[in-house]
Structure 1
Amino acid sequence: MSNVREDFTPMERAVRGHVLRIAHRGASAYAPENSLQAFEKAAEMGADAVEIDIQITADDRPVVAHDENLQRVFGLNVTIGDVTLDQLGEMLPTDRAPIPTFEQVAAVCADLKLGLYLDIKRLNMAAAGHIFDSLAATGLMAYTIFGSFRPDFLAELKAYSPAIRTSILFGSTHVQPVWLARAVNADYVHPCWEHAAPEPHRLLTEAWLTAVRAANLGVVCWHEERPTEIAALSALGVDAICSDTPDVLARYS
C-alpha cells in the first residue's frame, strides 16, 4: 500500500515529507459525503487517508454516515439506529448515493491504498467486532486511527484492542489536551477549531504544541479548506490535516 504508511506516529511526518492528508468524509467538496465516489475522488486527488463517520444500525451493523438522522442528506425523518441494515437499504432514495457499510468502505479503501480515520459517532461492542473483522480482512488495521468526541468510546476500543491508535476530538479551546488524551490513553489530539477564530492556526500556540509534543502525542487538525490556513498548519508541524478539498491539501501541505 504505497500511499499510506504503517506508522502514523509523530515521527512519520519527517519520513513522509508532508502532513498526513486526510480527506474529510472523502473528497466531500466534489462528491456526496461519505460515499464510495467521494473516497475514489480522494485517492485521485492525492489523499493519504479518508475520514469517515460510523453509525450503527438496529442490528449492530456499522455503516458510514455523519448524521444519525437521515433528514439532512436524504429528506427522511428516520434514525439509523432504529432500523436494520436491510430496512435502511430499502428506504433510501435511489437517486442519491447510498449509505455504504463499513465493510464496503474498508474493501474499497484497501483497493485505493487509502488509510482510514474513523470518527466513531455510535458504538457497541457487537458493531466494534464487525469493524475489527473488516479491518483484519482487508489488511487496513495498521493504517487506521480510531477517533471520537466520546472518551468512553475510545476507552472501550483501547480495552478491546490495546494496540490500536486512537484520537480524541474536542471542540472547546479551553480543553487541556494532554490531560484528556492521557485519561483514555489516546495517541492523538484532534482540536476541531475551524470556526473558533478567523485564523484558527494561531490557536495552536508554541506552548500548546510543546506540551502536546512532550507527551508524545500527535496532532490531527480540523477540516480546513483555506490554502493560507493549510499552509500555516503545515508549517507548524502538525501531523495531519483533514479537508473537504484534498486537492488543495496536496498543493499547500
Structure 2
Amino acid sequence: MHLRAVAASTTALLSITALLLSASPVGATGDERWRPEVIAHRGASAYAPENTLEAVDKAAELGIDWVENDVQRTKDGELVVLHDDNLRRTTDVEEVFPDRAPWKVKDFTAAEIARLDAGSWFGPEYAGARVPTLEQYLHRVERNHQKLLLEIKHPQLYPGIERDTLKVLSNEGWLDRWHTRRRLIVQSFSADSVRTVHELKPAVKTGFLGTPPVADLPAYASFTDQINPPHGSLTASYVTAVHAFRGAHGRRMEVFTWTVDDPAAARRVAGFGVDGIISNAPDVVRDAVGG
C-alpha cells in the first residue's frame, strides 16, 4: 500500500510539472519561463531603417533573438519585405520613378524595387540600404541565428500569397521540424490568411493579429496558436482568457502584444502575463522586464 501511494504521488507531481512547463512562453525554461519573449519590430526599427537587413543586424547586435517582418508581393511574383502597400514612405521611389504614382508595391517588379534606396529616409548613414527579398531576409536571420515572426501583409491584395510564402520558406529550409517548432511563427491581421497557412502547412505555428471577443476565441483556437493584440487595449483578464484555450497545436494559446517601446508599458504588459512583447526598441523592453 505504501509503495502504491508513493507511486501515485510521484505520478501526480510529474503531471503537474509537465502542465507548468507546457504553459511556459516560447522556448523558455527554468526561471526564464516567467519572462516574455522580446521581438524586434521590423527589426530593431528604432535604430535602423525598418524591414531592412541593417535592422536585422542591429537586433542581433543588441542580442535580440526574435525579429518581426512584413511580406508583400511584387508585380512579377517576388516576395519582398516591406510594411506599407506603397513605396513612398520608406524609399526614394518618387525620385526614381516619378511617373508611376501611386507607387504601389504590386505595380513594380522586383528588379525595379531593388533599385530603390530604402535607408536614406531614416538617416544618411543608411543611404543605399535596399528593400530585401524574403529570401535575402531569411538568409540574414539564419546567419544571425535568430528567430522569425513573419507577417503576411495585406493578403487581400495578393491572392495566393500564403502558398507563395510557404514555398519560399520551404525552399530556404525553414519548414523543417527545428524551424517550425522553435524558430518560426507566421501571423496576419486576416483570420482567413492565418487559417489558410494552417491548412496548407499544419506544422507551422501561427498568430492572429487583433483582439477578437472572448466568445470567439474557441473558433480561433482551431487554426491559430497565438492572439496578438495591440498593447493599449490589453488587460490582464483578456490575457488570462486567451491562456485558458489550447491552440491549433494543442498547447496553451499565447499572447504577443505590440508595439511597446517604453519601460513602464513593458512592465505593465509583462505583469499581465503576456508571452511576448513586440518592440521597435527591443533592448529597452528587455531591460525593463529583466530578460
Q: Same fold by TM-score, threshold 0.5 exceeded?
A: yes
**Structure-1 separation of matches of 2:271 and 2:140:** 32
Return the structure number with greater relative CO, CA threshold 8 A, min gap 6: 1
Q: Confirm or deny: 8 A CA contact 2:214 2:241 kept in the other structure.
A: no
Q: Identify which of 204, 207, 210 aligns with 2:235.
A: 204
2:259 is matched with which residue?
A: 223
Q: CA deviation at 1:173?
A: 7.4
Unmatched runs of 5 consecutive residues or more in structure 2: 1-21, 94-101, 120-126, 156-160, 246-251
Pair 1:109-2:122 in alignment: no
**Structure-2 separation of matches of 1:173 and 1:137:** 28
Q: 1:237 to 1:222 in 2, by over 3 A?
A: same
Q: Identify which of 58, 69, 81 aligns with 2:86.
A: 69
Q: Identify which of 188, 191, 194 aligns with 1:148.
A: 188
Q: CA deviation at 1:34?
A: 0.6
- Aligned residue pairs total 235
Give CA-to-partner distance per residue, 1:181-213, whole Å, 9 cap, x none.
23x61000000244x5xxxxxx3133x222211
Unmatched runs of 5 consecutive residues or more in structure 1: 1-8, 197-202
2:6 is matched with which residue?
A: none
Q: Confirm or deny: 8 A CA contact 1:53 1:118 kept in the other structure.
A: yes
Pair 1:178-2:256 in alignment: no
Question: Once the two structures are aligned, what percentage of the paired residues are identical?
Answer: 31
2:280 is matched with which residue?
A: 244
Q: 1:151 to 1:137 in 2, by over 3 A?
A: closer
Aligned amino acid, residue 53 of structure 1:
D
TM-score by length of 1: 0.83
**Structure-1 separation of matches of 2:235 and 2:219:** 16
4+ residue stretches of structure 1 with deviation over 4 A? 91-94, 172-177
Aligned amino acid, residue 57 of structure 1:
T
Q: Is the radius of gyration larger for structure 1 or structure 2? A: 2
**Structure-2 separation of matches of 1:93 and 1:233:** 32
Q: CA deviation at 1:125?
A: 2.2
CA RMSD of aligned residues (A): 2.4
Q: Identify which of 169, 172, 175 aligns with 1:131.
A: 169
Pair 1:27-2:44 in alignment: yes
Q: CA deviation at 1:92?
A: 4.7
**Structure with higher strand content:** 1
Give CA-to-partner distance per residue, 1:112-160, whole Å, 9 cap, x none.
1110001111325234312332243896444110010011111111111
Q: 1:211 to 1:109 in 2, by over 3 A?
A: same
TM-score by length of 2: 0.73
**Structure-2 separation of matches of 1:251 and 1:32:** 22
